[in-house]
Amino acid sequence: MKVVTCEIAWHNKEPVYSLDFQHNSDGRIHRLATAGVDTTVRLWRVDMGPDGKAVVEFLSNLARHTKAVNVVRFSPNGELLASGGDDAAILLWKLNDSKEPEQTPVFQEDDESQLNKESWSVVKTLRGHIEDVYDICWTRDGNFMVSGSVDNTAIMWDINKGQKLCILNDHKSYVQGVTWDPLGQYIATLSCDRVMRVYSTHTKKKAFCISKMSSGGNAEGEVKQYRMFHDDSMRSFFRRLSFTPDGSFLLAPAGCVEIGENIINTTYIFSRKGLKRPIAHLPCPTKATLAVRCCPVYFELRTKKGEDGSVQALPNVFQLPYRMVFAVASEDSIFLYDTQQTLPFGLVSNLHYHTLSDLTWSRDGSFLAVSSTDGYCSFLSFSPGELGTPLKEPPTLEVFVPNSSVEKKGKKASAAKNSPPLSQPSSSAPTPTNQAGHGKDAPSVTPPQEKKSTPAPKAKLQPRRITLNTLEGWGKPTTPKATAPSAPLTPASGSRSAPSTPQPQRPSPPTDPMCQPPESKRTKTSDPPAKSSVTHD
C-alpha cells in the first residue's frame, strides 16, 4: 500500500466535501468525481504511476449548482452522475460524446488554466428538498435513489420518472447519511438527532429505530441505557453509513460506547438478521468516525499453510464464504477492515490538516480516495493481490424492487414478495469485548458538549507526517481494544507524485488543525499541506 496527497487545487483551494469513483462496465479508465464549496463538480482521471502511486489528470468542470456541492455519486452502471448541494437541488449529469467540450479556462490562476476534455450536461433535475442536500445513494439497478437533507427529511426518488416516491420525515434534525440496501428491502438514515432509522422499501414506513442501548447493569442489578450516537457537537457535516455489497451487514459511523465514565468512539456493525441491535463495534481510539465505504470486490478467505504443507483455514468471525473489505474514516484517520476479523489490518493517520469528509473505492479495488475540508484529496493505492485474491464468481443477489407508484394518504402500498438475503452471519458471531451491553457499570450519560473557546494564538506547526501501520492480526481471534492499535512501523521515505495538473503555490500551513468545531461551510481554506514523509510496507 502506498499513499500520496496530490498537490492540486482541486476546487480552487476550497474544502472538498465529496468524491466518488465511476464503476462502469468497461473499466477502461478510473474516472473520479469531486465536489466542493466552490459550487462545482469536477471530473478527473486517475492512473497508477510507475512508482505505484496515483497520478491525476483533469477532465472536466461541471458548473450548474449555485451553492456548495456536498455529495457526488455515480450510478451503478456509471452512465449518470448525481450531485447534491446547498441549493437543495439534485442534478443528474451525463457524458455527451457528440458535443465538443467548452474551451473555457477552469482554474483561477492564469498559470494553472486548464481546458475541459469532456462535455457533461444536466439531463434531469430533482427538486423536493427545501434545504441543503447532504447525502445520496443509488439502488443497485440505478432506477431509484434516496437523498438526505438539512430539512430533516430523506426522499425516495424514481429516477426514470423524475419524481418523489415518498418523503421520510421522522428525524428531528439534519439527515447526514443515507444508504439503500443492495437487496432492495431497506433504507437506512443517520441524523445528528442521535438516531438511526431503518425503513422498509415495501411499506415505505419505519421498520427500526436505533438510538439507545442497555448497559450490563451495576452491582445492584440496575440496568441503564446510553445513547449510541454522537450529538451535533461532532466535528463533521456528514455521517455516511453503508451496507456491505452483499447486504449482510449495515455499517454505521458516528457511534459512541460508554464504558464506565469513558466514552469510546466507534463504528457499529448490524446484522441483517437483527437490525435492532449491533452485533459488534469497531472502536476508534481518538476521533469520531464519519464515513464508511466498502470495496466493490469480493475476496477469497485467507488461509495459512500448516507445518505439513496443508492449507488451513483461519478464524472467520462472521462466517461468510468470502471476504469483504471496507474503509472507515474518522476525523483524522482511515482504518481498513475485512469481514474475517474484527481488528483493522491497516491504518493511515496524519494525512490532512483538517477533517476528512468522504471515501471512495475504484472498481477494481486498486485505489481508495479520501477527501478533506483542507481542500486536498489523497489516494491509497494497492498492488494486485495486496488486499487478497479476488473471488472468481461473485455471489448472485436477489434484489427486491420497490413499488414505483407514489403513495397516497389512506391507501396502502401493494403487496410484494421480499427476497431472502444472500448469506447471513452466524447468530453466535463473536463480538468485541468492548461491545455495548457487556460493560458492568456503564452509566446513562451522554457525551459532553464540546465547549467552544476563542482561537488560540497562532503557533508554528511541525511538518506533517503520514503514519501508516499494518497490524499483524491475521488469524488471531482477539478483539479490538479501546486504545490505539499498535504495530511496528517500517520507516521509508517517499515523494509525492507529480500530477499532470499544475501545482498551486505553497504558503505556510493553516493553524489550529482539527482542534475547533466545524468551520463555516463558506470558509475558504487557502493553505496547502506541507510536504510529508510516508511510511509503508
Q: What residue numbers bound the domain in which 184 lies?
A: 2-406+417-451+458-469
In a domain, 524, yes or no: no
C-alpha cell at 332: 483524522
Q: What percentage of the chain has pLDDT greater than the value 70?
A: 70
Q: What is the pLDDT of residue 394?
A: 86
Evaluate whether residue 426 is within a structural domain: yes
**Lowest model confidence (mean pLDDT) among 34-48, 228-242, 509-523:** 509-523
Q: What is the pTM of this model?
A: 0.76
| Residue 398 lies inside a defined structural domain of this protein | yes
Please give the share of the chain, as a percent, with pLDDT higher than 90.
60
Mean pLDDT score of the chain, rounded to an integer?
79
Domain membership flag for residue 275? yes
CATH of the domain at 443: 2.130.10.10
Asked whether the predicted pLDDT for residue 447 surpasses 80, the reply is: no
> What is the total count of domains within the chain?
1
Comparing 151 with 479, the larger pLDDT belongs to 151
Q: What is the mean pLDDT of residues 459-464?
A: 48
pLDDT at 436 over 50: no
Average pLDDT of the residues in 183-198 = 97
- DSSP for 147-211 reads EEETTS-EEEEETTTTEEEEEE---SS-EEEEEE-TTSSEEEEEETTS-EEEEETTTTEEEEEE-
Mean pLDDT of 459-484: 44
Higher pLDDT, 395 or 498: 395
- For residue 55, the model assigns a pLDDT of 94
User: Does 66 map to a domain?
Assistant: yes
528 part of a folded domain: no
Measured CA to CA, the distance from residue 13 to residue 480 in angstroms comes to: 38
pLDDT beyond 80 at 416 = no
Outline where 262-403 has alpha helix (H).
none
In a domain, 504, yes or no: no
Res. 483 pLDDT band, cuts 50 70 90: very low
- Residue 536 falls inside a structural domain: no
**Among 369, 382, 372, which Cα is nearest to 74's?**
369
* Chain segment 242-270, per-residue pLDDT in tens: 999 999 999 999 999 987 778 899 999 99
